[in-house]
Chain A
């Protein structure tokens, strides 16, 4: 297997692992971390392609991903904290007031 394919497969796995983490982990903070993992998976694939194609644009996109990830976390953490304080738990699976 060529290196590039390997890297891309790893990126797919990381992406999937991130998604999996969001699904299977109860702890809301770990869920947020899993989202980061997802973005990291994406980054890996972007960088792989970027380096292959020499595309600066892709690198800029990775930079933007960093920024956005930071912004998302900055917004997500207060929300999670608010929920944790109010519901007395960090278990995202128990935050099911809205349903149906």
Chain B
């Protein structure tokens, strides 16, 4: 068994052990298996990547078996390790392991403890399939698998109908995207006869593929990505997905799974490089998502929802980068985002944990002193996401803004301006969060305040690690590292000299956001309240999340229900089909009744009947003959 297979299978083993035996063998066993195996996977991955580095990062392909074969075409189950998947594997196993560790503290005492770790391991297994798969098929298996794990984990506390509904919504929304993904995949298969992504890239790089438009394939695959990465119009599931345990939100709905779409597009950069239309679509969707999600985040009051919309927004940023051809930059942001968003979510988890489940930021304040470690790490991560130098987010976001402006592959001022505005809002809503939760005087009741306590070391330790990574992660230049596989777009020469001003602007945006938040939410946040009152309509629109859910419900959900219940079931099955049947049966019964009436019992009538038959026979045939 090759190393890649081993990496993938280790979490699966964890899932099986925990799933089958975990409930019976106790917490220690669950911990050892649940955290140990992902850690082992991380170690193996790190060692493999080290070997790879020593060899100068050749693409390693490991074929496991043939899934299905048709003549000379076949679906192989194979893994591919190159620079891109190396980054992803390390993020997934690394952050994954950290979050497993964190969970041992966070989930302590939960009756579904073993089940939780089983699910989490299952998630890792599928995520690794996703990032290591050589063929789109394997990627798709992982893709759907992480969706499943996400579904299970969102609905982890299934007794709450809302939570299980959120899980279902996530799954369904993803499925819609998957339909596009599948279509794209089918077209590729049809035209190329292979789903191996390296082969696909190569084929498109070699020139136009006969009978297949790269733009179409690109857009279809991107539809899949919008589902998984919560882009407009399929973004609605992610905020609801916060129903799951917070570490899950950190791992799946912030750091790893939701970035799968980004990974997909980056992985298939060969297609998008020759499909400028598709790239334009991606950039547009990305920036719109980033912008609108940010506006919603500004008014959210649930700590996790703020982070969720922030995630959506940040993913939008990544797609902007993808849309302008800066694939490496998108992965760079993915990478930094994994750290700081995981840190933020886990920090939020720590806050929630400290407050015994409270998630509404309006009932939080002044927590900085009570839970200092959490506060410190949260602050670092906030600064990182806001793009304050020299934290990780600064580098990645700056590069995105830069390429949005200057890339020759679709960069534009409008794109840049929207992105910049979004960056400003990002800084604002993040600092707003920080302010409301940690700063100011305590507004909590004594009882609650009494319970507030710092989280156990298993949790704070992870927070610290992630905070450090958020702080220094930016110094490892992913775009540069990935350049051999994901070349960066050329820069519009006219924009060359705007690079330095842009750096300044970027920093300024972050600081402005900080200042704005500090000003508005200083003291009892009365300024913010006044502002809300002033723009009540806008505020309602934003807190209502642009009523997209309601729109979907009205435009799709209810019509579908109506169609199914009234038209298909009522009219179709009951009236038209069964009605016809029963009508025919009734007709037969009526005919039978008619025949019975003819059979009067009177001998004379019988003879008359015979006479009639005789006359009929004779006249008919004599008339014919």
Q: A and B from one assembly? A: yes
Give residues of chain B (271-304) contacting chain A, Cβ–Cβ below 8 Å: none
Chain B residues near A95 (CB-CB < 8 A): 601, 603
Question: Are A96 and B611 in contact, with the CB atoms below 8 A?
Answer: no
Of the candidates B596, B599, B602, B611, which one forms a contact with A93 in the assembled complex, judged by CB atoms under 8 Å apart? B602
Chain B 577-615: CB-based contact to A (< 8 A → 1; otherwise 0): 000000000000000000010011111100110010000
Q: Are A24 and B604 in contact (CB under 8 A)?
A: yes
Residue-wise interface mask of A (14-44) relative to B, using a CB-CB cutoff of 8 A (1 in contact, 0 not): 0000010011111000010000000000000
Give the size of the chain A interface in residues (CB under 8 angstroms): 15
A92 contacts B by Cβ under 8 Å: yes
Complex-state Cα separation, A24 to B602, whole angstroms: 11
Give the docked Cα–Cα distance between A23 and B614 (Å): 14
Residues of A within 8 A of B599 (CB): 99-100
**Are A23 and B607 in contact (CB-based, < 8 A)?**
yes
Smallest beta-carbon distance B324→chain A, Å: 87
Number of residues of chain B lying within 8 A (CB) of chain A: 10
Nearest chain A residue, comparing its CB with the CB of B597: A100
Query: Please, how many angstroms separate the alpha-carbon atoms of A31 and B604 in the complex?
Result: 9
B604 contacts across to A, CB distance below 8 A: 22-26, 31, 92-93
A20 to chain B: closest residue by CB: B611
B611 touches A92 (CB 8 A): no
With beta carbons under 8 angstroms apart, the residue of B596, B602, B607, B608 that contacts A96 is: B602
A98 in the interface (beta carbon within 8 A): yes
Answer whether residue A57 sits at the interface, using C-beta atoms and an 8 A cutoff. no
Complex CA gap A79/B607 in Å reads 18
A41-92 residues at the B interface, CB under 8 angstroms:
92
Contact: B608 with A100, CB < 8 Å? no
Q: Which of A93, A95, A97 has the most CB of B within 10 A?
A: A93
Q: Which residues of A contact B607 (CB under 8 A)?
A: 19, 22-23
Alpha-carbon distance between A26 and B605 when the two chains are bound, in angstroms: 11
Contact of B600 among A22, A23, A96 (CB under 8 A): A96
Q: Which of B602, B603, B611 contacts A19 (CB under 8 A)?
A: B611
Contact A92 B603 (CB under 8 A): yes
Contacts of B611 in A (CB 8 A): 19, 23
State the CA gap A31–B603 with chains docked (Å): 10
Min CB distance B442 to A, Å, is 92
Closest to A26 in B: B604
A97 contacts across to B, CB distance below 8 A: 601
Q: Select from chain B the residue with minimum beta-carbon distance to A99.
A: B601
CA of A92 to CA of B608, assembled, Å: 14
> B608: which A residues are within 8 A, CB to CB?
23
Kindly state the separation between the CA atoms of A7 and B340 in the bound complex, as whole angstroms. 120
Minimum CB–CB distance for B622 against chain A, Å: 13
Instruction: Give the Cβ gap from A29 to chain B, nearest Cβ, in Å.
Output: 13
Whether the pair B601, A100 counts as a contact (CB closer than 8 A) is yes
CB-CB nearest in chain A for B610: A19
Interchain CA distance A23-B612 in the complex, whole Å: 11
Closest to B592 in A: A100
* Bound: A81/B596 CA distance, A: 28
- B360 → chain A, closest Cβ, in Å? 79
CB of A99 within 8 A of CB of B603, answer no
- Cβ–Cβ < 8 Å partners of B602 in chain A: 92-93, 96, 99
Chain A minimum-CB-distance residue to B593 = A100
A26 to B602, CA, bound (A): 10
> What does the 1/0 interface line of B78-94 toward A look like (CB < 8 Å)?
00000000000000000
CA distance A70 to B16 in the complex (A): 97
In whole angstroms, what is the CA distance A25 to B602 when docked?
A: 12
Taking the closest CB of chain A, its distance from the CB of B601, in whole angstroms, is 3
Q: Which partner residue on chain B sits nearest A34 by CB separation? A: B607
A73 to B558, CA, bound (A): 81
Query: By CB atoms of chain A within 10 A, which of B599, B603, B611 has the most?
Result: B603
Chain B residues near A22 (CB-CB < 8 A):
603-604, 607
CA distance A31 to B608 in the complex (A): 13
Q: How far is the CB of B88 from chain A (nearest CB, A)?
A: 82
A25–B607 Cα gap in the complex (Å)?
12
Q: Which residues of A contact B596 (CB under 8 A)?
A: 99-100
Give every chain B residue within 8 A of A100 (Cβ-Cβ).
596, 599, 601
> Complex: how many Å from CA A23 to CA B610?
10
Using CB atoms, name the residue of chain A closest to B600.
A99
Residues of B within 8 A of A92 (CB): 602-604
Q: Which residues of B contact A31 (CB under 8 A)?
A: 603-604
Would you list which residues of chain B between 95 and 153 have a CB under 8 Å from chain A?
Answer: none
- Chain A neighbourhood of B601, CB < 8 A: 95-100
**Whole-angstrom distance between the Cβ of B520 and the nearest chain A Cβ:** 92
**B521 vs chain A, min Cβ distance (A):** 91
Q: When chains A and B are docked, how far (Å) is the Cα of A31 from the Cα of B599?
A: 19
Q: Which of A19, A24, A95, A100 has the most CB of B within 10 A?
A: A100
B residues near A98, Cβ cutoff 8 Å: 601
Q: Which residue of A lies closest to B604 (CB)?
A: A23
Ordered by A's residue number, 10 sampled pairs between the chains whose C-beta atoms are within 8 Å are A19-B607, A24-B604, A31-B603, A92-B602, A92-B603, A95-B601, A95-B603, A96-B601, A96-B602, A100-B596
Which residues does A use to contact B, with CB under 8 Å?
19, 22-26, 31, 92-93, 95-100
In the A-B complex, the 7 residue pairs with the smallest Cβ-Cβ separation, listed nearest first, are A99-B601, A96-B601, A100-B596, A22-B607, A23-B608, A23-B604, A92-B603
Question: Apart from A99-B601, A99-B602, what 7 extra A-B contacts exist at CB < 8 Å?
Answer: A22-B604, A22-B607, A92-B604, A93-B602, A93-B604, A98-B601, A99-B600
